[in-house]
Structure 1
Amino acid sequence: MKRCFDFLCALFAIILLFPVILLIALFVALLLGWPVLFCQIRPGLYGKPFKVFKFRTMTNARDDLGELLPDADRLTSFGLFLRKSSLDELPQLFNVLLGDLSLVGPRPLLMEYVPFYSEEQARRHNVRPGITGWAQVNGRNAISWDDKFKFDVWYVDNQSIWLDVKILILTVKKVIIRDGISAKGHVTIERFTGGQK
């Protein structure tokens, strides 16, 4: 039932927002360059890797040695707008159609974090990851990693269609007020290096 709900909602959203998606893609191409999508391998259901799609929000600016500049130096005002409005996440609706993502579930983090998870934290992979989740509506990137994982595991143990609907409604509210977009002192959130239970 959850998969059917995800597929139908994502398909409806893509049809409804298709002009917006095309317009953003055009602006990304003009202001940030090509490709317009940022693709990255993330752990999905049971930790199986998949490719997540997002609109790119940073340039490819490099230093004299050819190394990419720090994220804060490559993030443009337009890219920051996409992040604050969560419009950079729209391509993930296609991940939902493909079955890699759910609308609601623990956010798919970086593959490099997986070895650092405790056994309890790793339970977040027992469900399909989501575009939004319980941690996102309870602080997003402004909360600690410890709290984030606790919210993720709580969702795993309490998931339901009605909880998903509640989280989706709360997500719209969070997006409108642009709450919890970044951790203090970071463009998004500090890196996870383990050590938290």
Structure 2
Amino acid sequence: MFKRIVDFSLSATALLLFAPVIALVACLVRLKLGGPVFFCQIRPGKMAKPFYMVKFRTMLDARDGFGNMLPDDQRMTPLGNFLRSSSLDELPELWNVLKGDMSLVGPRPLLMEYLPRYSTEQYRRHEVRPGITGWAQVNGRNAISWEDKFKLDVWYVDNCSFWLDLKILFLTVKKVLAREGIRGEGEVTMSKFTGTKD
């Protein structure tokens, strides 16, 4: 309950403080990428309950002659790269925190299609609300393997506390300013999780 109160208070305050930035980014996305401004996708929340996560759109909706979506590296734009490297694309997720779908700190909400691919231990990452940032994000973000990322997520589930959340928020600011771990090796963002290796 205390964590939820902190999440609500800080997300409401942040939305007010960052309102001019959010409005500016929305205008830039509309101007450079067209509509829609927001990228909305169903993600698994606490106990894997689905919710709509909201972010700023960072890629073009470009398709080949057969109607198939082009690869990420062909759809990414300079504006999209900047929004991702600065984490400005994540600002709309403060709305998800305000609603209670997410927390400021917790394992990142991934794709619904990953749910059946987790091991029993990895699935435990859904025992808490997903977060805008988390222990895995400040310990490598997209530059570490999926297996290492999930180990860090589960470690957070077992050790989460108010003081750990404060530490993660502080380290997140440092990571964002340094722009570390934004993408996986050879990837625009992060390669897809195909299952745990034996």
Query: Is the pair's TM-score, using the shorter chain for normalization, greater than 0.5?
Result: yes
1:17 corresponds to: 18
1:71 corresponds to: 72
1:164 corresponds to: 165
Asked if the contact 2:147/2:196 (under 8 Å) is kept, the reply is: no
- Measured against aligned partners, the alpha-carbon deviations of 1:20-69 in whole angstroms (never above 9, x if no partner) come to 00000000000001010000000000000000000000011121222221
Q: Equivalents in 2 of 1:64, 1:192: separation in Å?
A: 27
* Deviating more after overlay: 67-76 vs 122-131: 67-76
Q: Equivalents in 2 of 1:45, 1:161: separation in Å?
A: 18
Whichever residue aligns with residue 196 of structure 1, its letter is K
User: CA RMSD of the aligned region, Å?
Assistant: 0.8
* Deviating more after overlay: 30-39 vs 58-67: 58-67
- Measured against aligned partners, the alpha-carbon deviations of 1:60-106 in whole angstroms (never above 9, x if no partner) come to 11212222211110100000000000000000000000000000000
2:35 corresponds to: 34
Q: Equivalents in 2 of 1:72, 1:143: separation in Å?
A: 20
1:84 corresponds to: 85
2:156 corresponds to: 155
What is the CA distance between 1:195 and its match in structure 2? Answer: 2.4
1:173 corresponds to: 174
Asked if the contact 2:63/2:70 (under 8 Å) is kept, the reply is: yes
Moved over 6 A (4+): none
1:115 corresponds to: 116
Q: Equivalents in 2 of 1:188, 1:116: separation in Å?
A: 20
Q: Equivalents in 1 of 2:67, 2:152: separation in Å?
A: 40
Q: Equivalents in 2 of 1:66, 1:114: separation in Å?
A: 27
What is the CA distance between 1:140 and its match in structure 2? Answer: 0.1
Paired residue total: 197
Q: Equivalents in 2 of 1:67, 1:121: separation in Å?
A: 32
* Deviating more after overlay: 125-134 vs 58-67: 58-67
Q: TM-score scaled by structure 1?
A: 0.98
Question: Equivalent pairs: percent with the same residue?
Answer: 66
2:197 corresponds to: 196
SS of 1:51's partner is strand
SS of 2:6's partner is helix
SS of 2:18's partner is helix
1:144 corresponds to: 145
Q: Equivalents in 2 of 1:34, 1:140: separation in Å?
A: 28
Please say if 1:98 is aligned against 2:99.
Answer: yes
Q: TM-score scaled by structure 2?
A: 0.98
SS of 2:73's partner is helix
Q: Equivalents in 1 of 2:146, 2:70: separation in Å?
A: 26
Q: Equivalents in 1 of 2:120, 2:159: separation in Å?
A: 18
